[in-house]
Amino acid sequence: MMLENELELGRLYYKPLIVRVDKSDDGKQVRTVLERKLGVSRKLLSQVKLTEHGLTVNEQRVYTTATVAEGDVIRVRMLREQSDDILPEPMPLEIVFEDDDLMIVNKQAGIVVHPTHGHYTGTLANGVVYHWREKGERVRFRPVHRLDEDTSGLVAIAKTSYVHQQLSEQLQAGTVTKLYRAYVYGCPKPHAGTVDAPIDRDPLEPHLRIVTPDGYASVTHYETAASFGNAAAAVKLKLETGRTHQIRVHMRHIGCPLIGDKLYGPKEAAVSAWEEAAGRQALHAETLGLTHPLTGERMVWHAALPPELASLEQTLKGI
């Protein structure tokens, strides 16, 4: 049976990160051991050391500069947080994975990931916060990456600051796999290749992105999965960087804008049967792969093509 103080710690803190000091770390500072063993950032350590039970060795509070001996047990406890600024709102969620540390959601098109100006409710964050409240969990909403409102597919959400930090570093290192499927006007030439074209805001229309020599490095790999005459194609894409609207901008850049894309699609085109079938920009984040920060396991998830894009593909096959 858990001791009363352990129950209280569980109410106040997330499950601790635990390191047992081995011979190779005997005599080293706590921060050195945690950085080497867990990759804990200086920022996180500066936060946890301010709380009574945030950083302990053998359950005794210590500073990050304290030295440890072989056999010591270091515990890092992060205070439980919740998103008090996000209104809990019931909504259907397709949760493809969840444990104490991580959640993967298959987001529907038409849903914004996080509340923004003009979108305070009806976002993925509202639904996820409601889900956690119903489960009795105090968790802050921390998306590791985002999808555009009208893009469907897999989104990773960290449930602690440590997991968010670790997954953000994986993103920066390029070890997170993000594969997309898009339906575009025309057929890319060549059928497979890499778009290496810097992206930045359009100075004339700041809500849009453009390819510009002075932009941020942006790399998209693509492969044509199917072509429908010369009129349209299904394309598989892999992101090497994650700029806002990157796929949409890069596909327009090579002359193959996404079907149904109101911002970057052909301006002169009337609403076609293709766009009616899709009902939105034809882009879906179908595969997500990452290494779980706590277990070290490489995990991969897949999201089936949503009905509206399956309908679009059937329409295109009839060309």
Active-site residue list: 148
CA distance 293 to 279: 37
| β partners of residue 302 | 287
- The 3-state DSSP class for residue 20 equals strand
168 CB burial (10 A radius; 0-12, 13-18, 19+) = middle
Continuous segment of H or E residues that includes residue 312: helix 307-317
CA distance 261 to 245: 11
Q: What is the DSSP letter of 142?
A: E
123 CB burial (10 A radius; 0-12, 13-18, 19+) = buried
Task: Please state the separation of Cα 156 from the chain's center in Å.
Answer: 4
| β partners of residue 106 | 154
